[in-house]
Structure 1
Amino acid sequence: MKKIKLFCVAPYEGMKDLMQNIADRRSDVEMTIRVGDLCSGPDAAIEEVGSDIDAIISRGGTAEILRNQYSTPTIEIPISVYDVLRAIRMARNISKNFAIVGFGGVTRVAQSLCEMLQYNIPVFTIRSTSGYEEQMRILKEQGYDLVVGDTNTVKIAGEFGINGILFTSGIEAIEDAVNSAVQLCRYHAGLKSTINLLSEVISGENRRVVVFDSSGNLRYSTLQSIPDDLLQLLKKNIPRVISGDHYNSVFNLDGRNEFIQGQRLQFGQESYCLYGFRETDSIKLNSKQGIRFYNSDEIQEAETPEYYLGGNETINNIMGTVHRYCGLKLPVLIDGEPGCGMDTFAVCFYKRGTLNHCAYVVADASVMNESSWEYLLTSDNSPLCEKQLTIYMKNMECVPAEQQNALMLYLKDSLVCRRNRLIFSFATQGKDVVYQNELYRFLLETLNSLALHLPPLRQHKEDIPVLIGLAINSNNLLMGTQTIGLMPEAVQFLQEYPWENNVDQLRHTIRELVASVNSPYISLKDVQALLQTRQTGSSVGSAGGKIDMTKTLDEIIKDIIQTVFYEEDMNQSQTAKRLGISRSTLWRMMKRSGD
């Protein structure tokens, strides 16, 4: 068996001889022995203590200092009651006026013994090496001619002309310290072996994990390095995971999109946070294939539902329904005409729900292809197989007929609705029309989804002035403009305008007006000119618009940015992500072009 390597600091020569005697008799230890006090002991350790030293053995204050300076385990040679009693008896034979001085490890034993035997002997505890001289100066002034204590006590006392008696330790106490060191090192070796074995197992399975303790200290990682932004994300959610909440997210690590899951580990009284990383097929699917993952920080800029509704009684009832649905985990089925803000309401259910700290998944049936559906319904890595996700399946009216039965069967037979929060949306031109859809009826009646119908803008025209004001305010904040409002006749004109794309079209219109009109108030002429331009097809902001290739390069770039910005529901982060530029670059380009 491998010998345990011990570095021993003896406070006096006699203890060094006892240590050497023990080293000569034992075959399980290899002891390096030095004589040193509070100052010279730590200095000697600098030369000896390294990766090959298993433990340190010393006594009193020297042991305390070494324990604070090195991560190597330090075993303190105890000063027994008999050691203290022997020194006190010797001191009483020499002088009646003496005191006991030393670090806490020494003075605690002495204090207890004096109280037990009713000895009226002053006991002074030193907190640091600098405290010895001050204490000796006071004792000298008070007429003490003898002190009892550790090596440093005797040494400093001599400098002040005070005699000193040293607490000495018997060979039994030293042997006990060596046995404790061996036992501790064997135990640590077993733990290290277990950790190495588990590390090899984890590495062999190519599993990537990171473990933190409850204080946020990194305890274990199989990652070669952890980027600062990832480290901040993980540390931010440690309290949530430690408390027992489920947590998951998505992060791009070394060019790979990783799905992260948090888990609490409990060992005795200690709680740990384990993050597992897994590269999944789902995240490899890009936005054109219709499935995208978002972590909670990526969608915090979405508009609130209030920007799509208004304030009449019907709208207030809808908002009351929305607030009630947010606190539930049941599936939600949203329907309405295009441009009514279904995506915004889905995000609202996520942000105000109980799973807002976990990942948000969007599956767009209008752009999903055959492989996307195959992955979603059959892959073990499908988001439908995960836990505690919010999954938004939009444009469900576009689900191919051959996929509808497979989807309904999966939703009916699996426990996906218990594991995750599901949100569905149907874009339709009428309530009666959508109810004829078999999939819609299944989601509503068989899956028992909570229904939310968003009315078209023509059914609450009286809210248009409020919506205009909200849109102007948000655009002023975004672009730094100072538009106050629209002239009354312009507002009235917009209230009577046939908004085919509902609130989205109205908001896009207000955005272009705020960006292009320099006066504080927007006139009816400004509104009519913009809408006339849209009707001629020269603007890309409206639904179905195309880029005019006869324009200059700067104008084409502006049109592209505007088109993507609208498609991403005016979310700057997602727009920048799609265009492959930073948010600051996008903001400068929009500012320069007046977008």
Structure 2
Amino acid sequence: MKIKTLFIAPYPGLKELALTLAKEQQSLDITVVQGDLQEAIPIAKQYEKEDYDIIISRGGTAQLLRQHTLLPVIEIKVSGYDILRILTLVKDYHTNLRIIGFTNICQGFVSVSNLLGVHIPYTIIHDQKEVAEAVRQAKAEGAQTIIGDTITCKTAEANGLQSILITSGKESVIEAFEQAKQTYQAMKNAAKQVKLYKQLLQKTKIPIAIYNENGTIQFASSSFQKILAFTKNDSDESSIYAYFPFLDNAYKQLCQEIEPVEIQYAYAINDEWVQLRQGYLKTDQNENQYYLRFSEKDDNQEEYSLSVTAIQPIMTSFSQIVGNSHPIQTVIHQGKKAAMHDEPVALYGEKGTGKKTLAGIIHCESKQKDEFLLLVRILADYREIIDHLKSILAHSEKGTCVLQGVEHLRLEHQDDVAQLIHEAKTRTIFLFEDSPINLLRQKKLSTHIFKQFKQNQIRLPSLKEYMEDLDEYVRKFIAQYNVKYGKQIVGVHEEALRWLYSRNWKDNLQELSHVIEQAIQVANHEYISKEDLNNIFKNIDDYHQPGYSFIDLNKPLAEIEKDIIWKVLQEEEMNQTKAAKRLGINRSTLWRKLK
């Protein structure tokens, strides 16, 4: 009988690596989930009830689990291979680096770095509680990028620094599997009540979830789980606020005040519009319970002309922006000035230049940083948009509203928006692809709105204007997607890098990020090669030739289908949404077929 093993990965890339290696283990029945530190505790407790025998995790998560579970916990160690890969990746970095970790980690890095001639300052900690102070001290001493474990990287990012996670390679994971076999023990039976609820909810066809005041999901139908990927393998979040942050705070109070009337929202999930209805449930225990359900999609597209998203910024500090070129430094300088006041600001630039990212940084560097950050996208001109926007601004105390697409409204409707913004307590950041002055001349922008940000405009340059920074961005994306996909790519071959420099990046950083992400997925060696890029674009040299669409019909059907999808992606400049629409599928199906 196989050993039932729970593998809790603190970061996505380790999860993907474990899933791959688990297939090779004949004596282990391995379930792989993602969870970091406190997130891992409820996961471990759940599987403890399902006859699992042993847990494998890493670093601080493994240490924490030992305090909260009766199951034996195997810790994945950081190997010399792991250290060597990280050092190879960062040896050409042009930023000040600092390693923060326990004695065994730092000593390992010192030993290997001395062999390579790479000297990186380090700080030894003896307890996770020392991480915050170590990061603050490193920042004070001029460190810009922190190398460490998951909690160290999160702490670094919270302090406005860049971070590189020390990832675990296959050697370390295989060693943990072997140790698990040696320390195998049997544990408890599964909880019958949980199974009963699960069976009941799986039979419920209506997508609905019930959650409490804290946002903890009490029940979720199987159809609800399918829509939002609330499954044990795909999600580690038990709070509905992690998926719909706008349901928290003022929205909860509003929901109670209008009960039994439901609050409706138009929301985009996987680029498909759905209608959400939120209601309030009064229980016998006087506990506040809420429900969220999906209603039938209306064929009237005008109803879905507004998108409201609560943003969790991927960057929180100007110091996290990569690049030393004059255009980038100009943006940083102007952004810092914008963060010092609460007046409306306009950010404009081509698609993919980072307008939303900059808006998030301005918010996080301003005095509004602890308040709401909402992205409101206007997709079409429809009178109800004004009413929706009025409700959003009225129920958001302070905070920042990032408004995109206001130019799609008629001028009289734009004047209404200008009045709402003037009366609101929230700070507004406008996003445009075209310059506001051009929109004004074309009579696509109201003079009242233009006057609100006339003195506060920031133009984001296209990637071709700061190509000298491209190498830095490539390294940043490699580090980012190594973590996501469990890879240990350390750079780009010169021939492939030359092609990256020669490409016309129509979607700018967004497109570069997509290309590096796909290259990371297909690369089988330590460096991204031109052959890896060929696997993405099929033939780089022929790709730009008019009418090129070679498909090898001698391949199996699944491979032909994959070639067709890649070709459509190329023609749509790697825009996943447009490609999926052309093919008549959604984005999740598109990427599933490419795996």
Do Structure 1 and Structure 2 share a fold, with TM-score over 0.5?
Answer: no
TM-score range, shorter chain: 0.3 to 0.5
TM-score after normalising by structure 2: 0.42
Structure index of larger Rg: 1
TM-score after normalising by structure 1: 0.42
Query: Comparing both chains, which one has the higher relative contact order based on Cα–Cα distances under 8 Å and sequence gaps of 6 or more?
Result: 2
